[in-house]
Amino acid sequence: MLTAVLLYLSILVLVGGFRSRRVKTGDDFLVAGRTLPARVLVFTLLATWVGSGSLFAGAGLGYRAGFPALWQSAGAWVGIALIYFIAPRVRRIAQYTVPDILELRYGATARVLGTITTVLAYGTIAAYQFRGGGRLLNVLTDGGVDPDTGALITMVFCVVFTSLAGMLSIAYLDVGNGILMTVGVTLAVVFLVGDAGGLGASLGALRPDQVSLFGTLGLQGSMALFLPTLFLLLGEANMYQKFFSARDERTARRAVVFWIVGTIVVETLIDSTGVLASTIAPGLTEVQSEEIVIRVATDVLPAFMGVVLVCGAAAIIVSTANSFLLTPATNLIRDVYQRFLNPSATDRQIIIYTRVIVALLGVFGYAAGKFFPTILAMALWAYTMYGTGITPALLGALLWRRATRQGGVASILVGMLTTLVWEIVGLARGVDGTPAYLLGWATIYPALVLSIGTLIVVSLATPAQSDEEVAALYTGAA
């Protein structure tokens, strides 16, 4: 299986290197020359969103909690459905990054704060892709590759691959990655159900809480999974950057329709793999349970199915890591270097410096991965940081004319700082890396309430912006 994974990744590098010859301008590297058709856009959206957070954290939670784990995925499904109505406007604006939009509405301070928040959140998301890759290599080599060493190898590979051709290569290679990922998890679930004697027998072997609405998570725990995912998705910078890469507004909207279908199918299959495998390999620890999909591929499935699944897993990790390296690198180039340091930067400078920043972000992500006990903990922290720091202000910029510069800036700052402070205090009060949150409330609750409340209160307390100031975001809007 390891040989198959290495062969598949080698093919990705070769194809990426070939496509890199087509990169001529900064637009080619950052937004694929704004030429992506719907069929490519939908797969790159799917392959980017479904990453180690689903493969390890989602499946691991499914193993421990059963189908209530789907509350985390459901946040994405609802978010994508809402994005359907925003996608055409985002493509119409035709920028490069989310901080571009924030500055159009709230000014330069919002751009800088948005960039800081994105780098912190997306660096962490890239980090757990590396960590997932390390886990994958550790299992495939039967412990021969230490997880930390595997994470380092994954980081180096992803940095090299992302640096080759940027969005132009990532988007088209994600078509193959998305198909492989879908086939792999479909085969796994079909085999597990058939091996158990059918769907009825499979479900009958589960505990009652594993097939209930909230199960052992409870309402508060379920919403603590649902809300961070929803608000990350609504403001997700990779998604917006790929909408900016779309051929036109109609293409962006069509891609969203198929994206939501694909996400529901693939994430349900991944979580179901974890749930069904809980009856085959009981007693795994929390960390071990996050490897359940890989364990199913190596220990349960027939060889051919196992190879397809682990190659799909590798594709998931690489695709997501690439995008979560490229997006913050684009932010730093566009929103700091070009905006404040060198507005007349050439296409050659943009491409070279973006590649350098991708490498630096890879190192940052590898180091950040050592500070969290599980991939699920990393995912929820990053989702909350971005979902409360960026999304309320971003949606206010796009959908609420009464939002003001002061309100937007204050919302970003309050969401970001609340997440940092609440998590730090929770970890300081916790034991063995497990946070003990104040009042028992997960960070998403205070951070989201304070971020939205600040946006509304400060905006209503400050003078409304003129029609000229909001024209860039509202001209021609439906």
CATH number at residue 68: 1.20.1730.10
b or e along 89-122 (b: 16 or more beta carbons within 10 Å of the residue's beta carbon)?
Answer: bbbbbebbbbbbbbbbbbeebbbbbbbbbbbbbb
Distance CA 311, CA 318 (A): 11
Distance CA 367, CA 105 (A): 34
Which residues, at least 6 apart from 394, have a Cβ–Cβ distance to it below 8 Å? Answer: 98, 101, 102, 234, 235
The token pair that represents 423 in the structure block: 């998590």
Q: What is the pLDDT of residue 476?
A: 47
- Within 333-404, where are the H helices? 347-368, 375-389, 391-399
The token pair that represents 17 in the structure block: 């290197």
The token pair that represents 368 in the structure block: 């950040």
What residues form DSSP beta bridges with 434? 431
**CA angle at 319 for the pair 295 and 128, rounded to the nearest 5°:** 60
Phi, psi (degrees; rounded to nearest 5) at 290 = -70, -10
Is residue 400 in a domain? no
Q: What is the pLDDT of residue 477?
A: 44
Which residues, at least 6 apart from 388, have a Cβ–Cβ distance to it below 8 Å? Answer: 231, 415, 416, 418, 419, 444, 447, 448, 450, 451
The token pair that represents 261 in the structure block: 């279908």
Q: What is the pLDDT of residue 168?
A: 63
Q: What is the pLDDT of residue 169?
A: 65
What residues form DSSP beta bridges with 36? 246
Whose CA is closest to 409, among 465, 356, 331, 467?
Answer: 465
Which residues, at least 6 apart from 323, have a Cβ–Cβ distance to it below 8 Å? Answer: 44, 48, 170, 238
Distance CA 350, CA 35 (A): 19
Is residue 389 in a domain? no
Distance CA 185, CA 73 (A): 16
Estimate to the nearest angstrom the gap between the alpha carbon of 333 and the chain centroid: 20
Contact 263, 80 (CB under 8 A): yes
Contact 72, 61 (CB under 8 A): yes
Is residue 177 in a domain? yes
Whose CA is closest to 11, among 310, 311, 297, 304?
Answer: 311
Please state at what angle helix 237-244 crosses helix 218-235, rounded to 10 degrees.
30
Is residue 361 in a domain? yes
Which residues, at least 6 apart from 69, have a Cβ–Cβ distance to it below 8 Å? Answer: 58, 61, 62, 217, 225, 271, 274, 275
- Provide the sign of the torsion angle of the four alpha carbons 344, 348, 351, 357, taken in this order: negative
Is residue 468 in a domain? no
Whose CA is closest to 101, among 325, 403, 395?
Answer: 395
Is residue 198 in a domain? yes
Q: How far is CA 107 from CA 117, 164, 359, 385, in A?
A: 16, 33, 29, 21
Q: How far is CA 163 from CA 64, 182, 218, 298, 428, in A?
A: 38, 26, 43, 32, 38
Running DSSP on this structure, what letter comes out for residue 143? T
Ranges of the chain with pLDDT below 50: 476-478
In the chain, how many domains are there? 1
The string of pLDDT tens digits covering residues 48-83 is 788 888 999 999 999 999 999 999 999 999 988 888
Contact 151, 366 (CB under 8 A): yes
The token pair that represents 124 in the structure block: 């962490």
Contact 358, 330 (CB under 8 A): no
The token pair that represents 214 in the structure block: 């909230």
Question: Domain containing 158: what range?
Answer: 2-374
Roughly how many angstroms between the first and final C-alpha of the chain, as a whole number? 51
Strands in 5-152 per DSSP E: none
Classify 54 in phi/psi space as left (phi over 0), alpha (psi -120 to 50) or beta: alpha
Is residue 259 in a domain? yes
The string of pLDDT tens digits covering residues 341-374 is 999 888 888 888 988 999 999 999 999 888 888 8
Is residue 22 in a domain? yes
The amino acid at residue 215 is: G
Q: What is the pLDDT of residue 28?
A: 60
What residues form DSSP beta bridges with 246? 36
**Within 13 Å of residue 468, how many CA atoms lie on the same side as its CB?**
0
